Structure 1
Amino acid sequence: MKLNKSFEQATYVVTMLALQEGHQPVKSHVLSQILQVSDSYLKKVLMKLSKAGLIASQASKTGGYQLAKPVDEITLKDIFFALELQADVVDFKHIAHQIYDDELHVRQVEEKVKMTLETGLSAFYDQLETLSISDLLRQEAYEKGAIDWNQKVK
């Protein structure tokens, strides 16, 4: 399975914000420099995380991005859905109807495939929901924050 690169970036952004010393805001350019990714692309990821209510942004000289929820309330599923990566509907183009004459059989086969894919997606989403960001971090590191990311790029 190949995941979109934004999922990995978003997950690390959330963990970095959780670890930020004193939970102070972190600017996007700091995050992008540390992750070594494009600031403009990362801003799109940040906007989606913000829109989903996972992070908050403060536009000011001392502002930046912070978590909007506790880390034990943010799951991988939340990040996945914030980035709009989910595929909730299996959409057939019904190509088989152009090849085979047995309409009933084609519909039955498409329904079996659809049900299998939907069951698999549901299991995938359920599994993503079992892992919170706090599960990825040491508790003592995220309670007050352990790293000042702003100092890492100076």
Structure 2
Amino acid sequence: MKLNKSFEQATYVITMLALQKGHQPVKSHVLSQILQVSDSYLKKVLMKLSKAGLVSSNASKTGGYQLAKPVEEISLKDIFFALELQADVLDFKHMAYQIYDDGAHVREVEDKVKSTLEKGLGAFYDQLQTLTIADLLQQEAYENGAIDWNERVED
């Protein structure tokens, strides 16, 4: 399975915000420099995370991005859905009707395939829900924050 690069970036951004010393805001350019990714692309990711209520932003001089929820309440599924990566709509083109004459059988086969894919996606989403950001971090590191990301970059 190949996941969109935004999923990896979003997951690391959320862990970085969780580890930020004193849970102070972190600017997008700091995050993008540390992750070595495009700031403009990362801002799009951050906007989606903000829209989903996972991070909050403050555009002031001392502002930046912070977590909007505790790490125990943010699962990989939340990140996945915030980035609109879910594939809930299975769109068949019904090509089999062009090839085979038995319409009833084609419909039956499509229903079986659709049902199997929906069950698979459901299981995938259920698994994503089981892993929270807190599970990825040491508790003592995220309780008050352990790293000042601002110290790791030059302005």
TM-score (norm 2): 0.99
2:7 matched residue in structure 1: 7
Aligned-CA RMSD value: 0.4
Give the letter aligned to residue 31 of structure 2. Answer: L
Q: Distance in 2 between matches of 1:77 and 1:152?
A: 30
Match of 2:17 in 1: 17
Q: What residue is the counterpart of 1:132 in the other structure?
A: 132
SS in 2 for 1:129: helix
1:64 aligned partner: 64
Q: Match for 1:106: what amino acid?
A: V
1:4-153 correspondence to structure 2 within 5 Å: 4-153=4-153
Tell me the secondary structure at the aligned position of residue 84 of structure 1.
coil
Figure out how many residues of one structure are paired with residues of the other and give that number.
Answer: 154
**Secondary structure of 2:130 counterpart:** coil
| Aligned counterparts of 1:67 and 1:3: Cα–Cα separation in 2 | 23
Unaligned runs of 5+ in 2: none
Cα deviation, residue 104, structure 1: 0.3
Shift of 1:89: 1.7
Amino acid in structure 1 at the alignment position of 2:10 = A
Gaps of 5+ in 1: none
Q: Distance in 1 between matches of 2:16 and 2:141?
A: 11
Question: How does the TM-score come out when normalised to structure 1?
Answer: 0.99
Compute the displacement of 1:91 (Å).
Answer: 1.0
> Secondary structure of 1:98's match?
helix
| Residue type at the aligned position of 2:103 | E
Q: Deviation per CA, 1:11-66, whole angstroms, max 9, x where unpaired?
A: 00000000000000000000000000000000000000000000000010000000
Code of the residue aligned with 2:134 in structure 1: it is S
Distance (Å, rounded) in 2 between the aligned partners of 1:132 and 1:96: 41
- What's the % identity of the aligned pairs? 84
Q: Which amino acid aligns with 1:59?
A: A
Deviations 1:101-150 (A, max 9, x none): 00000000000000000000000000000000000000000000000000
